[in-house]
Homo-oligomer: A and B are copies of this chain.
Amino acid sequence: MSITAVPGFDAAGVACGVKPSGDPDLALVATADRQPVAAAGVFTTNIVRAAPVLVSRSHLQSGQAVAVVLNSGNANAATGERGRNDALRMCELVGGGLGCETTDVLVCSTGLIGIPLPMVPIESGVPTLVAALGADEEAGHRAADAILTTDTERKEALAVADVAGGPSFRVGGMAKGAAMLSPAMATMLAVLVTDAVAEPAALHGALEHAVRDTFNSLLVDGSRSTNDTVLLLAGGAAGTPVIGPEGHAYHALVEAVTEVCDDLALAMAADAEGATKLATVVVAGARSGEDARQAARAVAASQLVQCSLYGADPYWGRVLSELGASGAWFDPERVDIAYNGITMCRDGVAALHDERAIEEVMAGREITITCDLNQGMGRAAVRFTDLSHAYIDENMGTS
């Protein structure tokens, strides 16, 4: 299974020489007939935006696209006017190769910040890339490989949606990110395609909804990169109905897009640099959903909680302290905290528990910390990882 499992899309991946290692570093996803289709994107909220983010946002104003070109090995971020020209040139090269408008090509980059994009390998690589486009599974795998940086595994996902009274459709995707932020790099990219027929507004709505509970609920080091981009193209090969931003078909689209984003986010967490634990913090009983998200994020972002997990120490006192500093409101003496269902803190104080059972939980790889604030109905979950020596080693230097 790869992104080409969705009818109507081709993909390719090649090594053009941006990465000194010679690993694959240039990828392309395009409609099979090279005609524009409905497209939407969500981008980093960082005000320092990489050149490809600026160019893709501008090109998406039309609500349509033919292709997405992506390079790894260089983020084309903090590269000024030159960087914007380089990103635009990538679109122009691909448009020329595919026979479509420059503005119908979207572009993503990932890698080191602050170094101009080497355009010689890109100029010579794009024709090879276009020539390599194919609808077979391997072509999709090669595209997914060519966007990786510190990732150790290719990340792909597929969902099938059934809509009562209409044809079923597929949503496929590929992503890179050795955590929400592949830390040395800039950073997470995902491209999704579907054969549904959908309006750009519906695509955008589905994408925003899906991202909130998946990629935006994954935290490794709390940084938001200059390049984060998630794109969704709807080719329409599955046939009518046209999906607008409401109704049954829209809900099926949201569900399928969320499923794909969730699978890709999980793959990122599992591949997080140096991580030995795959953790989830669930905050329940908050006054509001926003309070719950804020509190869950504070626990997940805590270096102290992350270190505790690395040391297999169920130190719930740190979790309680981070909840208290998060800005969420609650009564500290009504909080319950459990690790994989074993309650360590009840009503804000230590709870009696089975020592052997908690030791077994902490020795495992997957740990869910559930914090019940007992104030209301707000609930949120954030995936995160522990903080290990290997994380530091990975991020000590760029060379």
Contacts and interface: CB of A to CB of B under 8 A. Distances in A.
Contacts of A389: 389, 392
A395 to B, nearest CB: 4
18 contacts: A48-B320, A48-B323, A75-B317, A77-B317, A78-B332, A78-B348, A78-B349, A113-B317, A114-B350, A115-B350, A184-B304, A222-B301, A223-B322, A307-B396, A311-B395, A312-B397, A313-B396, A315-B398
Contact of A348 (B80, B225, B308): B80
Nearest to A113: B317
Contact of A114 (B115, B317, B391): B317
A310 B394 CA distance: 11
Interface in A233-255: none
Interface string A319-352: 0111111000110110000000000010111100
Given A224-B325, A310-B392, 10 more contacts: A46-B321, A78-B332, A82-B349, A112-B317, A113-B320, A114-B316, A114-B349, A307-B396, A312-B397, A313-B398
B308 A347 contact: no
Interface in A340-369: 345, 347-350
Contacts of A181: 304
Nearest to A314: B398
A388 interface: yes
A221 B224 CA distance: 18
Contact of A330 (B47, B322, B324): B47
Interface residues of A, number: 66
A312 B396 CA distance: 7
A78 B304 contact: no
Nearest to A322: B223
A325 B45 contact: yes
A309 B115 CA distance: 20
A294 interface: no
A57 interface: no
Interface string A170-209: 0000000000010110100000000000000000000000
Within the oligomer, what is the number of copies of this chain? 2
A168 B316 CA distance: 48
A302 B80 contact: no
A183 B307 contact: yes
A243 B125 CA distance: 75
A222 B332 CA distance: 20
Contacts of A116: 350
A96 to B, nearest CB: 28
B48 A113 contact: no
A77 B78 CA distance: 45
A184 B304 CA distance: 7
A49 interface: yes
A347 B321 CA distance: 40
Interface in A373-399: 387-389, 391-392, 395-399
A371 B318 CA distance: 32
Given A186-B317, A396-B313, A221 B303 contact: yes
Contacts of A71: none
A79 interface: yes
A398 B302 CA distance: 16
A226 interface: yes
